[in-house]
Structure 1
């Protein structure tokens, strides 16, 4: 940060203050001119503000050599050679007139080219500057741009946020900083240039922004049945009651396994106990074996459910029962690959997430 003097305007936490004194190498004494209250603030969080808006010089901007067309570069080389020859001559008035004729420029323009000529820089010194502002550059002062950034961070929070709220905050800070506020279109343009993912994160939360804008390569697809399974637990939306006094006891748990390719629930296990490695083993066993005897046992002989087999891959979250030693040994013995969801990436659940 540049050196500060007493009375220097600074921006801190969205408000303008006047610098009064340094308390230490890290903290300073500030005066709020609106409330006339003194506060202490960390110097690293301050932003210097001008006393008045700095005027911008009119004119163009220089371009890099990679942006200069070949035709324009060849013209600059010819001008450089002609002017170089002119400076190596006796430089009579007639020589200057002849030079302007060779270059095809007027007398005033000829003097401009002589002023631009630089022996050490070469033909690039005679490249004409592009008129107007550089594309993407700002017409506002850096201080006003910083004020708009602060206003966006403080105001663009929560659903329903509008540019008008940002504009009001910008006007408030600019009045306190004694500088001219930008127009609505300028503020709207700055908001439009911000990263859309970042803006949605401020407005609707990081999860919503990631769902819309975050790149998520590699689709969880299966090319055939039994290639990929997904397994998860859930609490059933019903209540088990006592068969005599009908008092509620608990809600049952279900461990489900779905085949990704066919979208068939190929196996499950119901229990009144919380999920455990036993629940996982029973669900996998139910998915692997034929369902005929099981249907007979529950009295549903009129139902046909010919879905069973050994899955090649089982995907699941990082619950401890899915990482038990017994489960991993059994899967390895039967050549079943276990795949756990990466941390912080809930969308990998995809097909089955209950």
Structure 2
């Protein structure tokens, strides 16, 4: 059973990112797309380590992966801008080998007076990056859509199988908390099967991760209103590539709750047509 005292908010962002990297490594196995043996060979990670990660994730969610292990040891000691630069170089040019990236990072650290990462640290960071992100950068948008977006288009067959979320700027003007006339934003989460609204949030702030998390929190929990029975944890959560939904926080929440977070290109419904029709009809 999950340790009730272990919440994501109890850990630093670096620790949460480290756990997310581990999840992304075993994600193909969790989704049934790849064996742990294959992942072990491709990622050069001990099979016993992958079995342990999978067991911890099943039992405790994302927080179960917040442990120091040999393969990730030392990663959290790197400055975040160094980690970001390693990822940037990896995504920028598919011809960049890990050895090339390591040499460039060493020069970058010397120029900026940072501690130099080891080859193993650079290797671990690159290998932990989601393959979908790498494919998008190296192969292009069309390749990404064909491989990752199109295969996910389907109708739901039961409640809470697919939830969809989006924002819209309401066509009304009201006084905000400062006394100014303003237009509020509406965020909704819809159950794809029943078309029922699982959660909503109204705010004068532009869409952001915090408001989205509050909407998801409301959608999941039981409502006080008996006429509003929609609740639970969805298997898949569809949304666009907006900056709030692609934030680390939303990704970590989805992983911890074992929700498969699905993205579609802005302006291209790809399975999200129902929620866009809801906005147009409202």
> What is the TM-score when the length of structure 1 is the normalising length?
0.33
Q: Which has the higher contact order (CA 8 A, sep 6+)?
A: 2
Which has more helix, going by share of residues? 2
TM-score by length of 2: 0.42
Query: Higher strand share goes to which structure?
Result: 1
